[in-house]
A and B are shown apart, each in its own frame.
Chain A
Amino acid sequence: MLYRENGQFKTSYRADQQVFPILQDRIAIIVLLGLAVVAVPLLASEYLMRAVLIPFLILSLAALGLNILVGYCGQISLGTGAFMAVGAYAAYNFQVRIEGMPVIASLLLGGVFATIVGVIFGIPSLRIKGLYLAVATLAAQFFVDWAFLRIRWFTHDTPSGSVSVAGLSVFGYPIESPAQKYVFCLAFLLVFGVLAKNLVRGAIGREWMAIRDMDVAAEVIGIRPVYSKLTAFAVSSFIVGVAGGLWAFVYLGSWEPAAFSIDRSFQLLFMIIIGGLGSIMGSFFGAAFIVVLPIVLDNLPQLFGIPIDTAMASHLTFMIFGSLIVFFLIVEPHGLARLWSTAKEKLRLWPFPH
């Protein structure tokens, strides 16, 4: 009843091409943004921000980047963790080696280096595809893991690649408390979210989707596969690299290569599969699901007063996690984003469906 678009006429091209063509959506998103920017930093507890919201924001950003590559361009990647690591360590090097380097500049330059590495490991995608490519991207993962562990120069001569940054500040404002970190990450996420949304609905996004749906056919109608695939790798690894920098600088503070292991790559892949491939919204849903689920699973036994030791709890978490993934794939292979749009369709007709 409330969610109805009757009478909302689009009288100009501008109106027709809006990201949110329905008035109610626009209102909802403004309210949501208001809550996220103003209310949450003021009201949320430190624990909530540290354990849930900050990881959610950063991993959403990484999932967004990965979704451009996998969901929009159809190139499966198992090397996301590696691109995050490149972003993080490149940003670290800029921060440590250059005196007075602004944090934002370091993070963005980290993204640039992740882009370079991403494009290099993306070159095989011109010859191979599908599962073969997925395994090929594993090469990136293991090579990068090894490089940061063994090549001392990358980690500023610290043993075993464990490094740390402290005393971050942006334009004179420190980024110390959870609330400040939250706002910092949120700003990044919003900028990249808007950018990504507009990229995927523009010409280049359509090229990516054409390549995803059938690359030979796309080539026949005049889309250059080299250009499309490599730009997808570039844009995706840039965003993923920045997310890696944020994860290291803001969330972890001090880290070692294991923070960006293959498990991270799988985790991000799960996010976009569960959230919805080829959907910006899906990246957020998936990230929220994967961040919140382990916390819920960890706390459930205590809630019911069942005594359980930590090793057993972690095994059970693995099992439930695995079953849930399978369950989701069976029930809704297109992810949470599809559930969301189905719900919206239903809501438009409610309470009088024909």
Chain B
Amino acid sequence: MGPFLETLFGGLMVGMLYSLVALGLVLIFKASGVFNFAQGAMVLFAALTMARFAEWLPHLTGLNNKFVDNVLAFAGAALVMVAMAWTVQKLVLGKLVNQEGITLLMATLGINYFLEGAGQALFGNDIYKIDVGLPKDPIFLFEKTFQGGILVNQEDLAAAVIAAVLVAALALFFQKTATGRALRAVADDHQAAQSIGIPLDRIWVIVWAVAGLVALVAGVIWGSKLGVQFSLSLVALKALPVVILGGLTSIPGAIIGGLIIGVGEKLSEIYIGPMFGGGVEIWFAYVLALAFLLVRPQGLFGEKIIDRV
């Protein structure tokens, strides 16, 4: 029972990180119909910015308070992500309005390459550490319930709390603020939203900025767990099966899809992996998503796709 629960727990943690990346994807897709391939690169870029700012700031300001440095670095990185959102909208997507979906997808692939190159050109290509002071020691849970209990990283628990807070904050933002209402209106129907005076341009900048901030949070959590390096943007490819499993237009779908894939991946590696010589988790997510799509093409929570002639 112990090892199974531990694997399950580990899977949930990884899945939560997938969910965070997928969340950014869904936000942008819902609001602008752009399938943002660059979300992974955004995570890498944001994490690199944060890591390097945190490293440079003590030298610049002379402050040696880790908390203040981290907060400043986070704020700086957040500003960079907002600036990036604005630039993307002005220079790229604003010029591609009314193009087909595949053209927009390709444009985000271009952005993906640019961000990967720019991030490493500006901030270097070593492995960097983000240390935001998350507790590191593992603890045992449920020791009383059964023999041995299960081993859990406190860091993972803290990350889960941060992610939950982020999702709650996003939900509040979408449900309770005027901007959030405008965002939902645009997601529902572009033309109708524009006709009642919602400025599409500004909304898209906001959506990209929010997706950038989500990417930053994902990058910080991931970076403090595994270090900031290029592979971050590759791991983010896993967000793709997550969104199609959950449904491209559904925020709960992104979260539940991420958890399913995280858990499925870890369990399959432990229980099916040895049969094939390991490495099953490389493709498990994709094949699971593929098999699922055959039964339910719109994903778990996606809107039903209706064709009209």
Contacts and interface: CB of A to CB of B under 8 A. Distances in A.
A333 B102 CA distance: 10
Interface string A256-285: 000000100010011001000100000000
Interface in B229-244: 237, 240-241, 243-244
Interface in B136-180: none
Interface stretch (A41-49, A227-235, A309-317): A309-317
Interface stretch (B1-9, B75-83, B210-218, B273-281): B273-281
Given A216-B308, A329-B110, A142 B289 contact: no
A136 B293 contact: yes
A130 B297 CA distance: 11
Given A138-B286, A146-B283, A321-B113, A124 B293 contact: yes
Nearest to B296: A127
Main secondary structure of the interface of A (DSSP, over half): helix
Interface of B: 35, 91-92, 95-96, 99-103, 105-107, 109-118, 120-121, 125, 237, 240-241, 243-244, 248, 276-280, 282-283, 286-287, 289-290, 293-294, 297, 299, 307-309
A272 to B, nearest CB: 10
A72 to B, nearest CB: 14
B114 A326 contact: yes
B240 A138 contact: yes
A217 B307 CA distance: 10
Contact of A124 (B112, B116, B294): B294
Interface string A155-180: 00000000000000000000000000
A131 B35 contact: yes
Given A76-B102, A139-B287, A333-B99, A150 B309 contact: no
Contact of B293 (A128, A151, A326): A128
A143 to B, nearest CB: 4
Interface footprint category on A? 35 or more
A336 to B, nearest CB: 14
A322 interface: yes
25 contacts: A135-B243, A135-B289, A138-B240, A139-B286, A142-B286, A143-B286, A143-B287, A145-B283, A150-B278, A266-B109, A273-B103, A311-B120, A316-B121, A318-B120, A319-B114, A319-B121, A321-B110, A321-B113, A322-B109, A322-B112, A324-B110, A325-B107, A325-B109, A330-B96, A333-B99
A333 B107 CA distance: 10
A204 interface: no
Nearest to B295: A127
Contacts of A142: 282-283, 286
B288 to A, nearest CB: 9
Given A135-B241, A330-B96, A150 B109 contact: no
A-B CB proximity, top 10 nearest: A318-B117, A322-B114, A322-B113, A325-B110, A139-B286, A319-B117, A315-B121, A326-B110, A142-B283, A139-B290
Contact of A216 (B103, B248, B307): B307
Contact of A330 (B95, B299, B307): B95
B286 A322 contact: no
Contacts of A270: 106, 109
Nearest to A266: B109
Contacts of A324: 110
B106 A319 contact: no
B282 A146 contact: yes
Nearest to B91: A326
